Structure 1
Amino acid sequence: MDKDRIRWFIDARFGMFIHWGIYAIPARGEWVKHFESIPEAQYQQYFETFNPIHYNPREWARIARQSGMKYAVMTTKHHDGFCLFDSQFTDYKATNTPAGRDLIKEYVDAFRAEGLRVGFYYSLLDWHHPDYPVAGDRFHPYRNFPEFSECKGNLERYALYVHNQVEELLTSYGKIDIIWFDFSYDDMRGEAWKATELVNMVRSLQPEILIDNRLGGNIRARQPEVYAGDFASPEQIIPPEGVTNEDGEPIPWEACITLNDHWGYHAQDLNWKSPRTIVRTLVECVSKGGNLLLNVGPNAKGEIPEASVRILSEVGQWMRRNGESIYGCGRAPFPKPEWGRWTAKEGRLYAHLLDRGIGPVNLRGLEGKIAYARLLADGSEVRLERPWNAAEYPEDAFISFSQPELPDDWDTVVELMMK
């Protein structure tokens, strides 16, 4: 693990995932072709009518930055095989739709201009490519179609296609910070993708790039494969103790989480997570040494849904007040407290108070170790005082609030400067 290469990622802690493609037209999620086994001729209409007239990645980048995000990862090709970039190895791309242009180039330029790091998602699956296996594959939309029962594809030739497209992505848009491969399964893992060769090429083209762990290696191994990746990527779950290798040493990780229940745009999915839930999820990730990659699924016109924008705006307001407890922070050398979470960086502890309970807040084992305490949101003093009835807790420090409720019922952050 190159600690210098991944330093910015660990400091950033919060990023935007963007799932977007022609599946935004049926508006039933990015796996719609799989779940509904949509025939190619029917799916083709989405390709022929894709025209995101309101696509403005500068607006997307502004939303990301104002929400407190420091980087983004956008789908260049999802499982349906459609490419948002101008690949020379397929006609199934945005430049051949009514959109008529390279949508990835506009994304890269816009997010860079906003000061954000730029990442590419690239699906290893491809339900459109003729060399991708159908027979025996449990995810292909046509896996149960009799006419495809003998279609075993040509995986070696398809792997070359993958390598060629990845090379395009990493030579056409300047410096790229993350390549996010998705995903390996069954026999389609590791060297089935010629993964060692692929990673060596990626590293040669972009020496500072970060690679996720979905090429099929074991990032937790004592001696992981070349293609095991730089960070783990738990999906829709927060690891209970963070992520460690076989020796118990921490591994960089990033939880990818949806704002509702789908990655791609789904017009009927209104099961939105609240801003409060997002803030607490971000804090939980950081408290365990991880990042949060939070997804948006723009619609067919190229607009991030209003509900997503509203949620991210409110998260951004909390981050403007409390971001110092997130950026550059990680786990503290204490067990999880009963009142919430700890985050920490050199010289400072951040108490994330989620549930005050009754009486003063107990800071276990910190008596005499704190120089001062203040509310991070506005810098106001928080009183450090020993209550009369705490004589049996001589090693613990205590903070008190004058009001019966916490100042911020999402997460009240108290900054502790250590002696």
Structure 2
Amino acid sequence: MPQTRDTPAATGWMREARFGLFVHFGVYSMAARHEWVRSYEEIDDAAYQRYVDHFDPDLFDAADIARAARAAGMRYAVLTTKHHDGFCLWDSAVTDYSSARVCGRDLVAEFVTAVRAEGLKVGFYHSLLDWHHPDYVIDGVHPLRNAPDVAALNSGRDMGRYRAYLHAQVKELLTSYGQIDLMFYDFTFPWDRGGMPGKGPEDWDSAELLATTRALQPGIVVNNRLGIPGDYVTPEQYQPDRPLVDDGVEIMWEACQTLNGSWGYHRDNLEFKDPGDLARMLVQSVSNNGNMILNVGPDGRGNIEPRARGVLNSLADWMRLHARAIHGAGPAPFTPPAHGVYTLRGDRLYLHLFSWPFRHVHLPGLAGRVEYAQLLGDGSEVGLDVLDSTPQPHAHLSPLPQPEGTLTLTLPVTRPDVLVPVVELFLTEA
């Protein structure tokens, strides 16, 4: 196995946690058509203002969200402090474009208090983009990219002034709420979009922003979307099927997944992922030495909609029984059977069965390495056998011979009624 890069993310709480909650919420939630609605529909400031004027998150209950995360087995939670539309969820001293000025609530403060009360790590998402700020230079994803006077609009804009604003807001966030455990910056795009230049690390002064982040919050975990190396990488809406490696060294990663393809509330998008698929994605992440963060997008009033809550409840039921195969677990140095994958935690090996075999499952290389086995969900014993490697009389009545060193498990015929059945194997000394 490649050496693991020694960073706070690789060695600290994040690998132990393995599972987190993303919360995308803002005035775009009222449009209910994706968090990029302003860009997709090229909505100018005046038209977008209707959402700001009517923003009233009366059902945003940070304590309820934090409890739901904790119950679902998540160990950290990340809130969008500001998304690309520029609207802030805290009482910023450098803008009136915030929840504190519009509806009198510092939603970041509420979130931090609630998440800490549940014993979870606190994370902030902060957009580097800002489609509201008058000095942010219009680019190929900006809502005004096709305005007839875009060149004239850009002529008076100054990214230097915008950088000062961006850095000032980051300093506010990292000095006003106590210890912050994770910073998820989003995002750098140095390539042309729509024939217009993108924005790279120099536009944000990423090196200085990262240095400031670390100076203000020693030990904080920072992602890679400043366009310079951070502590971990963030594959979005796809699921790695192997450990991620850079120059022969394993790097920490976090699969960023939505419930239905949208981060912000999208009322008419009904393509919700099956809870069993999400559980398998989480298991696959851990088996490949990664994390998974799963997003909820509260609706325009701040409520977690019933469909999203139902998915979280299903994951909570599974994690209540199977959390020890996830938290603090990682990849195993054994080849799993075709039916599933392994995770390993100390002297416990966990076989996550993605399909249910009839009666027997064969585990190469584990003969003599397992002293006891049980279904993790109910603690019921699973039989262990080492079959002879040579053909036997009446072989039609028993499992086929297996290669030397193979351990055979005898399973019940009926699949356990859980999202992903897990067999817990108690390992002996090597």
TM-score of the alignment, normalized to the shorter chain, above 0.5: yes
Equivalent position of 2:423 in the other structure: 414
8 Å CA contact retained: 1:354, 1:410: no
Q: Deviations over 1:38-84 (max 9, x none)?
A: 12111011111101111211011111111111110000000000000
Opposite residue 214 of structure 1, the aligned amino acid is R
Which one has the largest radius of gyration?
2
Equivalent position of 2:163 in the other structure: 159
- CA drift of 1:334 comes to 2.8
Of 203, 210, 230, the residue aligned with 1:192 is 203
Equivalent position of 1:220 in the other structure: none
Correspondence 1:171-186 to 2 at 5 A:
171-186=175-190
Q: 1:338 to 1:392 in 2, by over 3 A?
A: closer
Distance 1:145 1:201 in 2: 36
Equivalent position of 1:110 in the other structure: 114
Distance 1:206 1:392 in 2: 55
- CA drift of 1:154 comes to 1.5
Instruction: Report which stretch shifted further, 256-265 or 149-158.
Output: 149-158
Distance 2:100 2:382 in 1: 57
TM-score, scaled to structure 1? 0.93
- CA drift of 1:4 comes to 5.0
Correspondence 1:292-371 to 2 at 5 A:
292-371=292-371
Equivalent position of 1:241 in the other structure: 242
Of 32, 43, 49, the residue aligned with 1:44 is 49
- CA drift of 1:415 comes to 0.8
What secondary structure, in the 3-state scheme, does the structure 2 residue paired with 1:271 have? Answer: coil
Distance 2:78 2:267 in 1: 22
Alignment of 1:141 onto 2:143: yes
Distance 1:102 1:384 in 2: 57
Distance 1:54 1:380 in 2: 43
8 Å CA contact retained: 1:14, 1:292: yes
Distance 2:246 2:43 in 1: 41
8 Å CA contact retained: 2:337, 2:361: no
Distance 1:340 1:237 in 2: 19
- CA drift of 1:404 comes to 2.0
Q: Deviations over 1:254-304 (max 9, x none)?
A: 011001121001111111112111111111111111111000000111101
Opposite residue 323 of structure 2, the aligned amino acid is G
- CA drift of 1:365 comes to 1.0
Aligned-residue identity in percent: 45
TM-score, scaled to structure 2? 0.91
Distance 1:245 1:337 in 2: 28
Opposite residue 239 of structure 1, the aligned amino acid is P
- CA drift of 1:2 comes to 4.6
8 Å CA contact retained: 1:143, 1:149: no
Of 60, 69, 73, the residue aligned with 1:64 is 69
Distance 2:341 2:159 in 1: 47
Distance 1:359 1:27 in 2: 48
Alignment of 1:391 onto 2:401: yes
Opposite residue 234 of structure 2, the aligned amino acid is S
Equivalent position of 1:223 in the other structure: none
Structure 2 unaligned blocks of 5 or more = 191-197, 388-397
Q: How large is the RMSD of aligned CA atoms in angstroms? A: 1.4
Q: 1:246 to 1:151 in 2, by over 3 A?
A: farther
What secondary structure, in the 3-state scheme, does the structure 1 residue paired with 2:152 have? Answer: coil
Opposite residue 367 of structure 2, the aligned amino acid is E
Q: Deviations over 1:318-338 (max 9, x none)?
A: 001011000001111134530
Equivalent position of 1:374 in the other structure: 374
8 Å CA contact retained: 1:354, 1:409: no
